[in-house]
Amino acid sequence: MPTGWMSDVRLAFRHLVKRPAFTCVAAGTLALGIGAATALFSVVYGVLISPYPYADPDEIWAFGVSAPAGPQRLRPFRYDAFEEMARLPALGDVMATAPGSRLLTGTFAPETVPAIEVSGNAFGFLGVAPILGRVIQPSDVLPDGAPRPVAVLTFRRWQESFAGATDVLGKTLRLDDVEHEVIGVMPPRFGWWTSDGVWVPLGRTGRDRQVFPIARLRAGASAATATQQWAALVPMLSAAHSDGFPRDGARGILTNYMDITVASGPMQQALRLLFGAVVLLLLIACANVANLQLARASARGREMAVRASLGASRAHIVRQLLTESVALALLGGIAGVACAYVIIRIMVGLMPDFFVPNEARIELNALALLFCTLVSLASGILFGLMPALQTSRPDLTTTLKEEARGSSGGGREFTRGMLVVAEVAVSVILLASAAVTVRSFLALQRVDLGFDPEGVVAVGLPLSPRTYDSLESRNRFAHELIERVRALPGVDAVSIGNGGMPFGGPQSDYAIDGQPAADGQRLRVYLASEDYWRVLRVPIRRGRALTDREVTSGDSAAVINEAAAALWPPGTDPIGRQVRVDVVTRPGNATVLTRENASPQVTVVGIMANARNDGIGNDVQPAVVVPYTLVAPAQRTLAVRTSGVAAPLLNAMRAQVQQLDPLQPLARPYTFTEVVANEAAQPRFTMALFAAFGMLGLMLAMAGLYSVLAYLVSMRRREIGIRMALGAHPAQIVQDIGRTGLGLVAVGLAVGGLGSVVLLRLLASQLSAFAGGGLDPLTFTMVAALLGAAALVACIVPARRAARVQPTDAMR
């Protein structure tokens, strides 16, 4: 570093040390802005930029199909379709995944663990090595297509089931009554479709089973070429296997894997908006420190004028002052690292797990520290340039005259006022955004669910496919369990199903009797018992519910919701009509059993009210409820409405299950209120951070207003003393100072309000579908009132201090 720069750096730190109060206030203000920006960068980097440990995840492509005028739909495909995809010339490697779960028994307590089937090339495709043993390879699928009974453990499963023992290789896990040899353990961050389960080989048996394929392009091939080849293959696959494909000209589309992660939807939008909010917060902090710098520069006017008169060039003075600003910003950046650590911990605690990839790591890494350094340097230049240019004016005579008059300089006073206006305007935008997110969240809380979640507890029942290998045995177990639980004290109603309680559930292609096959839309299918409507408290609008006899005998009866009833032509009564539900006979999963020679045609016997079935933020999807005895998946859900406390009831339910089958486990119980609360977790996260950043911006803006008024009072102390000596009343002095401060706030409020309206209209779709994304008059009035109250408080202290000026002291 040149000697001149070293001298500037030493002088800069000497000045900062001599004024500890100024240094602490300015560095602390910057620490808040820089720390928040660094924390948001760490979250964005960990969740959006580098959420996965895979080799080149941005070069992975997923297969999708869509109707000619419909949206793209990412979906599973038959195994034989996956083999056809692997032959496309533009693709270099294609792997498949079949998610599922298996019952872990043997030497371990019975529980259901995620068991993800992957093709033999999967681990080589993903490019992550194990920490122990080996991974699944193509040789783990035998020549006849059967998979070898081997398993690779997740790091968490290794810790939980084997206590991290290094001699785990060669030990066995009993999965669905089959002994699987442990061949490897993956690193802590690797979590392909599971973070606490196992991976097993995907066999070639069961050609009609559903798998999720992804691909990498061959060297030299483009995504456009691969898309053309996939689009050419889709019609042939649709002709050979029509189920799952749009019937009227299906189109094939490839989507980059990074665009379909769990963080690519609402969480991605939220983080982008929050990052913009943090940038605004950092600008407020920079404006605040620039104001402090201008006040300090006024006090140093004589020093700079003397230095200029002794031969210092304006460029040298600017360089010296910018060096001080950058040094101050670096101190703020160092403190900002500590702030970022705390903010990251708070954000991770608020962040809903299911909106973040399970392999994401949010931490202060080297890139985050580099970002913090760059932001600090940029902030130092940003808030230091204007004071440096104004202070470097080399007019000794003018400066001395201004000091003799006790003036701060009209130019500097105007600049400081404009900085306050900018702070207030940006603060208004932050507060308006926070108000819209709060309004959105409150609107989400008031959504009519269409069902009553209070008092309902549910628990999963993972049946062993080998122990319960027939539809009759599974239905018998379910029927006996329902009868036992129904007889327990405190139980009002019991239903068993396959999901859809309250949200989700499988989807199926369908066709209304007498109408062409539906294209681009699917029905949600709920397998349920006769008490389904009593458990959820969903009323029947017309017709009737399923009867006990229909459920027990497995009749082809069905109840549809009002959204499904709207699929019939206007004026047509769906009751008594038939609808073809393909999943009744073709579930697409080998572990799901159906009746022999069953018909996919079911007869509508009732229409129930619409109830939210796709989350609380989405429209109600068409749905059909059929007897659970028609289709028997291995995984079922038992839902119970109780009038008492759930904990004792769960113990009683567990005892009934153990009496029926001592080896049958229960999954983790949950309540419907928990499920509904989870639906609001992401909006709650966005609202909490927007509100926090908005309030922080408000405090910084008011601190800037206070500093300007306090400095104004100190500079006009002599003038105020003379006015009071000539008879001015203290109330007039208070009004004068207050008028100055509130005038700046009014201008900032007008500018910020206009900016908020424009910005929130541009971001309406991302902020909230419920709140409309706009800034309504009531919300703006509340923001203005909050800002006005805070501004009044910021003005009171300087104004009262001005009113207490003693004329004799001021004149002396």
The answer to whether 583 touches 631, Cβ cutoff 8 Å, is yes
Question: For the chain, percent helix, then strand, then coil, each to nearest 5?
Answer: 50, 15, 30
Return the pLDDT at 439: 83
Exposure string for 450-470, b = 16+ CB within 10 A, e = fewer: bbebebbbbbbbbbbbebbee
Residues with Cβ < 8 Å from 576, sequence gap 6 or more?
A: 603, 604, 605
Return the pLDDT at 98: 92
> For residues 176 and 481, what is the distance between their CA atoms, to the nearest angstrom?
21
Q: Mean pLDDT over residues 753-758, rounded? A: 82
Q: pLDDT of 609-620, one tens digit each? A: 999 988 887 889
Return the pLDDT at 400: 47
Q: Mean pLDDT over residues 408-424, rounded? A: 73
Residues with Cβ < 8 Å from 502, sequence gap 6 or more?
A: 449, 451, 453, 536, 611, 612, 613, 672, 675, 676
Q: Whose CA is closest to 526, among 475, 561, 565?
A: 561
Return the pLDDT at 566: 92
> For residues 50 and 56, what is the distance between their CA atoms, to the nearest angstrom?
10
> For residues 465 and 463, what is the distance between their CA atoms, to the nearest angstrom?
6
Q: Is the pLDDT of residue 533 over 90?
A: yes
Confidence of residue 1 (pLDDT cuts 50, 70, 90): very low
- 725 or 736: which carries more pLDDT confidence? 736
Q: pLDDT of 263-295, one tens digit each? A: 677 778 788 888 888 988 888 888 888 877 776
Q: Mean pLDDT over residues 237-264, rounded? A: 73
Q: Is the pLDDT of residue 210 over 80?
A: yes
Return the pLDDT at 322: 83
> What pTM does this model have?
0.78
Of 119-123, 335-339, 366-370, 386-390, which range is least confident?
Answer: 386-390
Cis check: omega of the bond before 20, within 30 degrees of 0: no
Q: What is the mean pLDDT of the chain?
A: 83
Q: At what angle do helices 730-762 and 681-715 cross, to 10 degrees?
A: 150
Confidence of residue 408 (pLDDT cuts 50, 70, 90): very low
Instruction: Return the top range by mean pLDDT from 251-265, 339-353, 796-810.
Output: 339-353
582 token code pair = 């393909």
Confidence of residue 185 (pLDDT cuts 50, 70, 90): very high
Of 124-128, 179-183, 721-725, which range is least confident?
Answer: 721-725
Residue type, 251: R
Return the pLDDT at 404: 46
Confidence of residue 112 (pLDDT cuts 50, 70, 90): confident
Q: pLDDT of 464-480, one tens digit each? A: 888 888 999 999 999 99
Return the pLDDT at 407: 47
> For residues 96 and 447, what is the distance between their CA atoms, to the nearest angstrom?
39
- 266 or 498: which carries more pLDDT confidence? 498
Confidence of residue 535 (pLDDT cuts 50, 70, 90): very high
Q: Is the pLDDT of residue 558 over 60?
A: yes
The answer to whether 280 touches 37, Cβ cutoff 8 Å, is no
Q: pLDDT of 564-596, one tens digit each? A: 999 998 888 999 999 998 888 877 666 788 888
In 406-472 the beta strands, taken as DSSP E runs, fall at: 456-462
> For residues 500 and 528, what is the distance between their CA atoms, to the nearest angstrom?
9
Confidence of residue 639 (pLDDT cuts 50, 70, 90): very high
Q: Is the pLDDT of residue 357 over 90?
A: no
Q: Mean pLDDT over residues 772-794, rounded? A: 78
Of 141-145, 363-367, 778-782, which range is least confident?
Answer: 778-782
Q: At what angle do helices 20-44 and 314-350 cross, to 10 degrees?
A: 50
Return the pLDDT at 95: 95
